Amino acid sequence: MSPHSLIPNKPSQVTSVQGGLCALTATEAVARLRAGEVTAAELVEASIARIEDVDSKVNALPIKCFERALDMARSLRLADHLDNHKSLCGLPIAVKDYNNVGGVRTTYGSPIFAQSVAAQSDATVRQLESNGAIPVAKSNVPEWAGGNTFNPVFGATRNPWDLRMSVGGSSGGSAAALASGSVWLATGNDLGGSLRTPAAFNGVVGLRPGPGRVPRGTRLPAMDTLWVEGPMARCVDDLALMLDAGVGYQADDPLSFDQSHISFVEQLSEGDTPARVAFSPDLGIVPMEPEIAQTCGAAMGHFTGMGTEVTADVPDFTGVLGAFQSLRAVLFATLMAPILEQNRAQIAPEIIGNIERGLKIDPAQIFAAERVRIALYQKMLTFFESHDFLICPAASIPPFPVEQRFVTEIDGKPCATYIDWFAITFALTMTACPVVSVPCGFTATGLPVGVQIVGKPRGEAALLRAARQFEQSLGLAAMLPINPHSGRGVISGR
């Protein structure tokens, strides 16, 4: 049996982008930059042309900083980057509109900040820029937070695999820009699944690293460890490339640390395949659409095909969902209570509810939530004594219609809150472990499905290596980038 026979519903009529610079992987593009075969300005111009060609359909990159990018590209001295193994050497990237790029708008998808211009790049972007990344555009986001990328400033972002569907959130613009070939790499961030869900919905990869790996800006509470910044890409090789460029110490972030001696790219090919992993379709705590569970379960055949034992011995996640909801609400109240006091009429009702829940939480609820979190971490350490990785779906549902604000039920079971439908990701946030989202198949209607792979604390290198082995067995990364289309078999492109 060939590996590809384990992938049901693989779309046969999706048009991949053939030829041209935008069809290169980030790894290939950086290699050409290093060799002097292409210039940073040529890549920026190629990205601009692709954005102008497809983004009117997708609406992934509403804030353009083309002139800034061209100026950076023309002034970049390649010789200054060749000795830096972490440098992207002038590769254009997309930056999520929750991050600051100096001289460019940061709106958070909110009318309150629709015209706000950042004085300087934040710690996340500054680290990438110092390693040769060139922001070419800002990617669309939900208003402040959420699982569907739409807002009153720029409208909705549409899924390149089916323009009628959602890209997920909150890093939905970044994921759609990658899938449609507008950029080679994109920033994401992740509190409850904000880069893992969009990666799954758009057939790309995204890494939620451990706290402190990627430096964060001063907008976030300095000691918070729930919200992390992370890379997004079309394949795992490119994900490692961006992680190398994005990690490191920035004084803005007291949790960040020097990682100049580490190369995640170099470690991708080191080591053996995993000996033992565990798979659960639902972690024992969330509802799951049967088609998603079946698709993800079938993909585990790729691990067994590599000689890996797959068990069902997962840690106990009892109490984790409620604990996360409490801690998330406290974080929102910390971040946004002052904004709510002055701008209530300009904030989405779901976000107001999050903030007010945080303001009402009593100390006993916080203590209980932290105890659950501490206990879960200890359970994960015990789990990793006998297993290399924990695997589960990256979403409980396939992409849903873009007009739907959020999901209200899963497999006939109602969702109590507007974030319940991505509980499968925020349960793993509570582990503090690195998690990667990797495509694993398609629904009957040709929409991408992804799995989450959870690694040991500070185990990003081994995690990316296993994800790469899984990805290569599946062979799906070669389908990207694609031309956006409206439903299976309806193709539009260049």
Catalytic residue positions?
A: 96, 170, 194
CA atoms in the 13 A half-sphere facing the CB of 232: 38
User: DSSP string of 244-305?
Assistant: HHH-S--TT-TT----TT--TTGGGG-S---SEEEE-SSTTTS---HHHHHHHHHHTHHHHH
In angstroms, rounded to a whole number, what is the distance separating the alpha carbons of residues 174 and 157?
10
In angstroms, rounded to a whole number, what is the distance separating the alpha carbons of residues 76 and 84?
14
In angstroms, rounded to a whole number, what is the distance separating the alpha carbons of residues 444 and 9?
5
* Nearest alpha-carbon partner for 439 in 5, 7, 3, 2: 7
Q: State which H helix or E strand residue 179 sits in.
A: helix 172-179
User: DSSP string of 398-453?
Assistant: ---BTT-SS--EETTEEPSSTTGGGHHHHHHHTTT--EEEEEEEE-TTS-EEEEEE
392 φ/ψ angles, rounded to the nearest 5 degrees:
-155, 170
In angstroms, rounded to a whole number, what is the distance separating the alpha carbons of residues 228 and 315?
23
CA atoms in the 13 A half-sphere facing the CB of 34: 14
**Intra-chain end-to-end CA distance of the chain, in Å:** 35
Whether 195 and 429 have beta carbons less than 8 Å apart is answered as no
